[in-house]
Amino acid sequence: MVCCVNEKWGLERGDDIHETGARHKSLEEHNRELHRENKSLEEELETKRRAVKGLTTMIENLTRRQEEIQSQIAELEAQQQESDSNKEDILRQIKFLNQTLTEIRINLREKRGRLDQVNQELDSLKSTYNAKLKGLDAIMKKDNVMINYINRDAEIILKASIFDQVLYEAVKICREIPEADTMAEDSFIDDRNNFRWKDVLSTGLRVFIAGIDGATGVAQVSGGGGTSNDMPWRDKDEDFLDWARRAMRYAHAKHYPGNRFKRSLSK
């Protein structure tokens, strides 16, 4: 099937990387290569610009010389009409100037042709260079997105790493201070303090995974359970963290004694 698809689009199957020893390039390596390519293109562009400038100057000088010779020929022809003396000398000068004029015209034609060619090459290089710049800009934007994701993930990991300790310390405070225990009522701290935390976490995990998989039901769990009728739904594009919070709020409500303080599951 792969072979047929490749043939349809005029593609050939690549060599096995285990045989070629090829490896995927990292984003950093790709960036460095793009920068090197852009540097090389910039040097080529500068070379072509200098060539255009040089050819333009030569064409201007040749054009000016051509006009001067044409003017000299016109003056000699006028002298030839006005005087019968020195006709042979004037004819020799005219002949020499015409030969020079022919050489200049040939040279001009060559230089103009070369200038057109260099301008086309310059335009092509500019297009390639601009495309490379766009590619580099896209990669830089992708880098920034990746950095944001990495920072966000790092923050999540750091918070997760101390969550159990924070929860333990909060429970400890609640057990020592009655007012704090009252303030923590109907909260995750209350779940932890009254030994419901494992059940809440288990239900939250099941609901969260069900939402990711697109399922609508959740298995019965101790202390509360859940059905497709009362469990929350995850929107198609809902952020995982937002969905995780809703799943945990749902789990807390399901396991709270008598469901007396069931919280809103809206986002």
Express each pLDDT in 17-31 by its tens digit: 555 555 555 656 666
pLDDT in tens, 233-247: 777 778 878 888 888
pTM of the shown model: 0.44
Q: Secondary structure of the chain: what % helix, strand, coil (to 5)?
A: 75, 0, 25
Q: What percent of the chain is modeled with pLDDT above 90?
A: 21
Q: How far apart are CA 116 and CA 123, in angstroms?
A: 11
- For 56, 125, 192, the CA distances from 198, given in Å and listed in that order, are 82, 64, 8
Q: How far apart are CA 110 and CA 64, in angstroms?
A: 16
Q: Count helices and strands (H / E) in the chain.
A: 8, 0
φ, ψ dihedrals at 103, nearest 5°: -60, -40
- For 214, 219, 240, 243, 263, the CA distances from 235, given in Å and listed in that order, are 10, 21, 10, 9, 19
Which pLDDT value is given to residue 70?
Answer: 94
Do 267 and 192 form a contact (C-beta atoms < 8 A)? no
